[in-house]
Structure 1
Amino acid sequence: MTATVHVPPPAPAATVDVLVIGGGQAGLAAAYYLRRSGLTAGAEYVVLDAAPAAGGAWQHNWPSLRLFSPPEYSSLPGWPMPPYPEDGYPPASHVVDYLTRYEQRYALPVRRPVRVQSVRRADGDPRGRLEVDTPSGAWSARAVISATGTWGRPFLPRYPGMELFGGHQLHSADYVGPDGFTGRRVVVVGGGNTAAQLLAEISLVADTTWVTLRPPRFLPDDVDGRVLFDVATARRRALDAGGPDTGGVAGLGDIVMVPTVRAARDRGDLVPQPMFERITPTGVVWSDGREQRADVIVWCTGFRPDLAHLVPLGLRGPDGRIPTVGTRARDEPRLHLLGYGDWTGPASATLVGVGRTARAAVADITALLSGGEGGIRTHGAV
């Protein structure tokens, strides 16, 4: 006789009004405004964070990384970043401490480590709930804010011969400092701030070659994050008013001349070369046949939005992004995306810039929760 196996029913989903996915700077800014909206922490809104500790992506950056701006231009809404006791701009560790204390200061309901696996519609009701699956249980929410950032998806391009290279290759996400490069031949790939800053460090201890897809554009020495934020804000105001597109930050340049980068330029180490054509077992080769031997290739090639959990919603466009109106997903009014870059709000991937888009997203969501139209606000309508 076959014994009957009793399978227990699945545990009921935890129910909230708003679920924030991601506990970095964007998620915390959203939680701050949800708190201010009157929602009850833990009962009506919750933040799920995949990391084991507070600090977002800042806790993973290389130790010498510093902000582009002083603390007063690097703050989340509500509480200014405390001053940094030393001269210069604060290091990443100062930001991690600030985000940790910010979370505690406002008693934000962050649950960690909880990695969200998927977000899906509960049914066909456009005003129904979204179901959020995690290894530790399911959640059900009337609205979801996705603020997972990009750190979880480092981008590594494919070049002929990559698999043949006999040296070491790493993405900038895995860089921890210059010590391991002493006396080696290092090729740094990328034309942005990360490549310039890593090259500045590594060139002090190694023979470096810098390659970029296009000639890098250096900002004036006196331009820092304060100027960049003001320029991005002016562009958004002009666009909201129906004026011409000034180009914003992109019109100024790509690389902020922080002290280490200026020093590398002044000693002649910041000299870009065009992108190589292929990789060999011992180095890289350009289209004209010129070869550079290398022991290490450092790929400073950026990141992509970490959106795998949203795949079940079927919202991605041809470019891999989810089309948005402001921060709201164009085809799913219960979903907002926050902090992924300018396509989810001007300067929304920065500490100082994410507050404005977080406020707009929460205003839109509270209108939706109250039975209003919702989903009609833009970044300027706050």
Structure 2
Amino acid sequence: MVIGAGQAGLSSAYHLRRRGYLPGDGFVVLDHSPAPGGAWQFRWPTLTYGKVHGMHALPGKELVGADPERPSSEVIGAYFADYERSFALPVHRPVDVAAVRAGEGDRLLVQTSAGDWSARAVINATGTWDRPFWPSYPGQQTFTGRQLHTAQYPGPAPFTGQRVVVVGGGTSAVQHLLEIAEVAAATTWVTRRPPVFRTGPFSPEVGRAAVARVEERVRQGLPPRSVVSVTGLPMTEAMERARAAGVLERLPMFDRLTPDGVAWDDGRTVAADVVLWATGFRPVIDHLAPLRLREEGGGIALDGTRAVRDARVHLVGYGPSASTIGANRAGGAAVREIHQLLGQPSPASV
């Protein structure tokens, strides 16, 4: 069974088909989302396909001829839908997975909004979009303006003429900031740590080193960091222009919110109508809690894609494979290991 039909889930399903597992009897894909496209279908409309960084095609089918000015949610949603049809992938949606727990014998019991399922192995590919991370700061309840997260970002138009504080040091924060600065009365960028901008080509060696650092945390059972967090922000031409215009002047993280803005203990204040929390996401893995996979450090330790505490469970798109190319590779790796464990495909085997 595959849980999730984003990049990681569809890659896994593709490799299961290639190994001879048949839709329905051999394996199923359960997807929480209402339509094809994974988390991409929820992205803001101004994130056009041409602005997407590092979108790798799914295995076996290239994404060709896409209009770079079209919203990425539409482009990738249509691509994923075509992919599911082309390879006859058995995606059931919308299905909410409530829990995965030990079943009878060597099987796992997957409890969902569409009934219970029995599986010999589970590939968890649920991503992070449904679990936005909201930091807690004093005064949040007294702030009279609007607070929203990247997961709710509607594009820049609603911020016209407003004073906006953007919180976060990742790619999404910078994308929001650059868009909002075009229409807002004022923008302020705050981050916990000074942002690191990366210039020049992103070599394979740099990429492998970054993935290795994230992978080491996962092996230790620590909560994973994103690959981007250890590679730095790619300095684009648009970002160069924004930096020259002063848009990327960063302030350290404020200490509290006030009714009309944010404040620091040194006496500095910034008035704000909106605080936009571009503070990232956490893995959606609460449904795996009955299996007790977490380590003392708070994360799930993996050996490759396999959960150390239960060899029947594989996590794809988690930690070092939380990128489009990483999810592709991890999907293939998980299926190879499952195939070695289970042997030849059999009814209701995955």
Superposed pair shares fold, TM > 0.5: yes
Structure-2 change in CA distance of 1:319 and 1:263 (3 Å): farther
SS at match of 2:300: coil
Structure 2 unaligned spans of 5+: 216-225, 345-350
Matches within 5 A, 1:34-183: 34-65=16-47, 66-69=51-54, 74-86=56-68, 91-123=72-104, 125=105, 128-183=106-161
SS at match of 1:180: helix
What amino acid does structure 2 have at the position aligned with 1:365?
I
Q: How far did 1:329 drift? A: 0.4
Using the alignment, how far apart are the partners of 2:205 and 2:82 within structure 1? Answer: 27
Structure 1 unaligned spans of 5+: 1-18, 241-247, 343-347, 372-382
Counterpart position of 1:212 = 191
Counterpart position of 1:24 = 6
Structure-2 change in CA distance of 1:22 and 1:267 (3 Å): same
Identity of aligned residues (%): 49
Using the alignment, how far apart are the partners of 1:105 and 1:50 within structure 2? Answer: 21
1:293 aligns with 2:266: no
Using the alignment, how far apart are the partners of 2:117 and 2:229 within structure 1? Answer: 43
Structure-2 change in CA distance of 1:230 and 1:351 (3 Å): farther
Q: Deviations over 1:208-235 (max 9, x none)?
A: 0000001001111x44xxx366632466
What amino acid does structure 2 have at the position aligned with 1:199?
L
Using the alignment, how far apart are the partners of 2:62 and 2:34 within structure 1? Answer: 25
Of residues 312-321 and 196-205 in structure 1, the stretch that sits farther from structure 2 once superposed is 312-321
What amino acid does structure 1 have at the position aligned with 2:193?
R
Counterpart position of 2:223 = none
Q: How far did 1:90 drift? A: 7.9
Counterpart position of 2:307 = 329
Of residues 250-259 and 277-286 in structure 1, the stretch that sits farther from structure 2 once superposed is 250-259
Using the alignment, how far apart are the partners of 2:250 and 2:123 within structure 1? Answer: 40
SS at match of 2:196: coil
1:318 aligns with 2:296: yes
Contact in 1 for aligned 2:7/2:328 (Cα 8 Å): no
1:359 aligns with 2:329: no
Structure-2 change in CA distance of 1:279 and 1:174 (3 Å): same
SS at match of 2:141: helix
> Which structure carries more relative contact order (alpha carbon 8 Å, separation 6+)?
2
TM-score scaled by structure 1?
Answer: 0.81
Using the alignment, how far apart are the partners of 2:181 and 2:211 within structure 1? Answer: 38
Counterpart position of 1:268 = 246
Contact in 1 for aligned 2:43/2:72 (Cα 8 Å): no
Aligned residues: 330
Matches within 5 A, 1:243-262: 253-262=231-240
Contact in 1 for aligned 2:28/2:90 (Cα 8 Å): yes
SS at match of 1:270: coil
What amino acid does structure 2 have at the position aligned with 1:58?
W
Structure-2 change in CA distance of 1:175 and 1:250 (3 Å): closer
Q: Deviations over 1:283-340 (max 9, x none)?
A: 1111211111111000011000001110111111234321111110001000000102
Using the alignment, how far apart are the partners of 2:170 and 2:213 within structure 1? Answer: 26
Structure-2 change in CA distance of 1:62 and 1:257 (3 Å): farther
Structure-2 change in CA distance of 1:186 and 1:236 (3 Å): closer
